[in-house]
Amino acid sequence: MKLVTAIIKPFKLEDVREALGEIGIQGMTVSEVKGYGRQRGQTEIYRGAEYVVNFLPKVRLEIVVNDDLADKVVETIQATARSGKIGDGKIFVMDIGRAVRIRTGEQDEEAL
């Protein structure tokens, strides 16, 4: 099993969710987060005053999938979340040793 974690722009969330649904992904965890990468934040102008926003709003998706689906999930997120501009985000893939569904006690692939 793999944990696919993606940090994307908030306005891309619904598009990514729909695209993942089309390839059979039934669930994910979504968190609103703040951060920055190479862009190091951005400069905003508010009521005539300029100030620096060091942390930009992002969305973090966490999806646990079978090994055979991981590459397809990464490709789908990458294709859907890409705007071609700086700050599109990152995708990380990690191995999962064990998964347990709390309600039924199912484990590993059955728990997904």
Whether residue 10 contacts residue 88, with contact meaning beta carbons closer than 8 Å, is answered with no
Q: Which of the four pLDDT bands, split at 50, 70 and 90, describes residue 86?
A: confident
Distance of CA 36 to the CA centre of its chain: 15
Q: Which of the four pLDDT bands, split at 50, 70 and 90, describes residue 91?
A: very high
Task: Domain ranges for the chain, please list them.
Answer: 2-111
The residues facing 58 across adjacent strands are 33
What is the pTM assigned to this prediction? 0.84
pLDDT in tens, 17-74: 999 999 999 899 999 998 877 766 666 666 777 667 678 889 999 999 999 999 999 9
**Cα(first)–Cα(last) distance of the chain, in Å?**
9
What is the full DSSP assignment across the chain? -EEEEEEE-GGGHHHHHHHHHHTT----EEEEEEE-STT--EEEEETTEEEEE-SEEEEEEEEEE-HHHHHHHHHHHHHHH--SSTT-EEEEEEE----B-TTT--BGGGG-
pLDDT at site 85: 85
CATH code of the domain made up of 2-111: 3.30.70.120
- What distance in Å separates the CA atoms of residue 59 and residue 15, rounded to the nearest whole number? 13
Of residues 56 and 104, more confidence is placed in: 104
> Structure tokens of 54?
């060091």
The residues facing 4 across adjacent strands are 63, 93
Q: What is the mean pLDDT of residues 66-89?
A: 94
